[in-house]
Chains A and B, each alone.
Chain A
Amino acid sequence: MALDLGVLVADPAMLGRALDLLRNVDEAQLFLMDEGVRAAGDPRLAAAIDDGLDATLCAMDAEARGIVASAIGAGGPRFGSQWDHAVMVRDAARVVAMTGGRIDDSDGATPGPGRRVAVRLTRDARDPKIGQALRAAVGYAGVELSVIVVVEPPARELLRHDEHAPAVVRAIATLRALGHRFVEVATSNHRVSCDVEVSW
């Protein structure tokens, strides 16, 4: 069955809003990553899962924050990976991203491989969320999505030199090696042509 809605949450404060969107959608998925994994034990999420919501979290991010499956209990989200996230972005008719900054709502583009996903970097290049954005972008590249990394002015140092965290340097090198694009924009209002946008 086709996936109607996929919601990415990387900020636990966004959980309630995400669950409001997901309610009453037949085929929907929720993916928690970064700080969003802190919402894993929220009773509202457990109730939604009990009602049939398909919810997954990034096991690596959970582990990094000391969140273990046994502490969440049987009614919590499944421990998955960036592959689950990337497949959700590839296959959902509508993708909503709530990473802690602006909320992106992408609707209408045909799902599937080749879909163009803009990963918009809105923060300082040293912000840990930039590393998470690029890690997610590598995951997108890993399911045959076409990635465009959009670099807004606060993040422009990212492309000026290579003195970044090793994970950031590696992600940039991987994306470039696979032929994905980096686009520097002068303002946050500058849009790029894409099917799905995920801002960090």
Chain B
Amino acid sequence: MSACVEAELLDLAGEVCPYTFVRAKLRLEELPLGARLEVLVDHAAAAENVPRALRDEGQEIVSVAREAARWRIVVVKRADPSLRQG
């Protein structure tokens, strides 16, 4: 069995605010606690605001790394909030 934890990937390149942080949160909702998600964004504001939004709801931001014209945000799910009403 591999010691590596596979990460889900969410590519948000080309996506606009507020869908960047909303889609990242919704994707995390589908994952179990402890799951690792890598989020790709291509806008500097999103590289700041998506981690802030995820941290605000209790998620763990492992890293934010610039890769040429985009940023890779690595997050581990630590909380289980829901954006859905009712």
Q: Per-position contact with A for B15-32: 1 when CB-CB < 8 Å, else 0?
A: 011111110010000000
Complex interface: chain B residues within 8 A of A84 (CB): 49
The answer to whether B84 touches A178 (Cβ under 8 A) is yes
With beta carbons under 8 angstroms apart, the residue of B17, B56, B57, B85 that contacts A81 is: B17
Is B53 in contact with chain A by the CB < 8 A criterion? yes
The answer to whether A179 touches B85 (Cβ under 8 A) is yes
Complex interface: chain A residues within 8 A of B53 (CB): 83, 142-143
The answer to whether A142 touches B25 (Cβ under 8 A) is yes
Task: List CB contacts (< 8 Å) of A135-151 with chain B.
Answer: 135-136, 138-139, 141-144, 146
How many of chain B's residues have a CB under 8 angstroms from any CB in A?
21
With beta carbons under 8 angstroms apart, the residue of A138, A178, A180 that contacts B18 is: A138
A-B contact count (CB 8 A): 62
Is B66 in contact with chain A by the CB < 8 A criterion? no
Q: How far is the CA of A79 from the CA of B56 in the complex (A)?
A: 18
Is A154 in contact with chain B by the CB < 8 A criterion? no
A177 to B, closest residue via Cβ: B84
Complex interface: chain B residues within 8 A of A40 (CB): none
Question: Separation in Å of the B16 CB from the closest CB of chain A?
Answer: 6
Q: Per-position contact with B for A76-90: 1 when CB-CB < 8 Å, else 0?
A: 000111111011000
The answer to whether B49 touches A87 (Cβ under 8 A) is no
Question: Separation in Å of the B33 CB from the closest CB of chain A?
Answer: 18
How many of chain A's residues have a CB under 8 angstroms from any CB in B?
26
Q: How far is the CA of A138 from the CA of B19 in the complex (A)?
A: 8
Complex interface: chain B residues within 8 A of A179 (CB): 84-86
Question: Separation in Å of the A97 CB from the closest CB of chain B?
Answer: 17
With beta carbons under 8 angstroms apart, the residue of B16, B45, B56, B86 that contacts A143 is: B56
Chain A contact residues, CB within 8 Å of chain B: 58-60, 79-84, 86-87, 113, 135-136, 138-139, 141-144, 146, 170, 174, 178-180
27 residue pairs A–B, Cβ–Cβ below 8 Å: A58-B17, A60-B16, A60-B17, A60-B45, A80-B49, A81-B17, A82-B17, A83-B21, A83-B49, A83-B53, A84-B49, A86-B18, A87-B56, A113-B81, A135-B18, A136-B18, A139-B17, A139-B18, A141-B83, A142-B25, A142-B83, A144-B57, A146-B85, A170-B19, A178-B83, A178-B84, A178-B85
